[in-house]
Amino acid sequence: MIEFYAEIRLVHVTAVISSGTLFLLRGVSVWAGRQAWALAPLPRYLSYLIDTTLLAAAITLLTILPSAVFSNGWLVAKIALLPVYIGLGILALHSTSGRQPALFAGALLAYGCIFSIARTHHPLGLLPHYW
């Protein structure tokens, strides 16, 4: 299975970017008062499809990578931030309170942290590079 690593990683990275972009579009739409579009079936189900593909590719990569990759905790950090991103994202898209901008910003921050950790393979992401 390792011979397909590059292709599986490409699917995973494409799904990561697609997921973040769609969330950003939906979040901006909700913020702009176009909640009907953001929560309509097409973007909602497209989000489910992209996120399912993302998760399937991630699990596949986890199963084929050598165990040494997991030694410094960067994958644990990513996995720990994932429910934060999902939870804040759901609340941001469905909230009607004044907390919506903060929830949206928090979800984007969690996404950015996950992305940073993935790029650097370090549990603190880009933070050590700025200290």
pLDDT tens digits for 54-71? Answer: 999 988 988 888 776 667
Q: Which two tokens stand for residue 74?
A: 């960067």
Mean pLDDT of 13-32: 94
pLDDT average, residue stretch 89-105: 89
Domain boundary among 16, 43, 65: 65
The answer on pLDDT for 91 being more than 90 is yes
If asked whether residues 57 and 77 sit together in one domain, one would say: no
Q: What percent of the chain has pLDDT over 70?
A: 95
Does residue 89 sit in the same domain as residue 108?
yes
Same domain? 75 vs 130: yes
Residue 2 structural domain = 1-65
Residues 47 and 101 in one domain: no
pLDDT, residue 124, reads 87
30 vs 23: CA distance, rounded Å: 10
Say if residue 79 is in the same domain as residue 48: no
Contact indicator for 34, 28 with CB cutoff of 8 Å: no
Shared-domain flag, residues 54 and 91: no
Question: Does residue 128 carry a pLDDT above 90?
Answer: no
102 and 124 share a domain?
yes
Same domain for 125 and 93? yes
Q: In total, how many domains does the chain have?
A: 2
* Across 6-15, average pLDDT: 95
Residues 100 and 131 in one domain: yes
Instruction: Name the DSSP class of 97.
Output: S
CA count, 13 A, side-chain hemisphere, 24: 11
Tell whether pTM > 0.75. yes
Residues 76 and 57 occupy one common structural domain:
no
